[in-house]
Amino acid sequence: EHSIETAIGNAMGPGVLGLMDSNSQSRVILLITDGDERGGNISAVDAARDAAAEGIQVYPILVGRPGQVLIPEQYGSVVRYQTSDNSNVNPELLQDVARITGGEFFRASDREELETTLDGIIDDYEKDKFEDLIHIEREDVYDPFAWAGFLLLGLDLLFRYALVRRFP
Our count of domains for the chain comes to: 1
pLDDT in tens, the chain (168 residues): 445 667 888 989 898 988 888 887 788 999 998 777 877 888 899 999 999 999 999 999 988 766 656 555 666 665 555 555 555 678 899 999 999 999 999 998 888 888 898 888 888 775 655 555 666 677 788 888 999 999 999 998 888 877 766 666
Instruction: Give domain status of residue 19, yes or no.
Output: yes
Task: Describe the chain by its helix, strand, coil percentages, rounded to 5.
Answer: 40, 15, 40
* pLDDT attached to residue 78: 58
- Transcribe 3-36 into DSSP letters: PP-B-HHHHHHHHHHHHHT---S--EEEEEESS-
Instruction: Give domain status of residue 148, yes or no.
Output: no
Q: Find all residues with CB under 8 Å of 112, minimum gap 6, and list them.
A: none
Structural domain range at position 32? 8-123
* pLDDT attached to residue 1: 42
* pLDDT attached to residue 119: 87
* pLDDT attached to residue 99: 96
* pLDDT attached to residue 120: 87
Instruction: Give domain status of residue 147, yes or no.
Output: no
Instruction: Give domain status of residue 101, yes or no.
Output: yes
CATH assignment at residue 60: 3.40.50.410
Instruction: Give domain status of residue 2, yes or no.
Output: no
Instruction: Give domain status of residue 56, yes or no.
Output: yes
Instruction: Give domain status of residue 146, yes or no.
Output: no
* pLDDT attached to residue 53: 93
Cβ atoms of residues 34 and 87 within 8 Å: yes
Instruction: Give domain status of residue 134, yes or no.
Output: no
Nearest-angstrom CA–CA distance, 48 and 12: 8
* pLDDT attached to residue 4: 60
* pLDDT attached to residue 101: 94
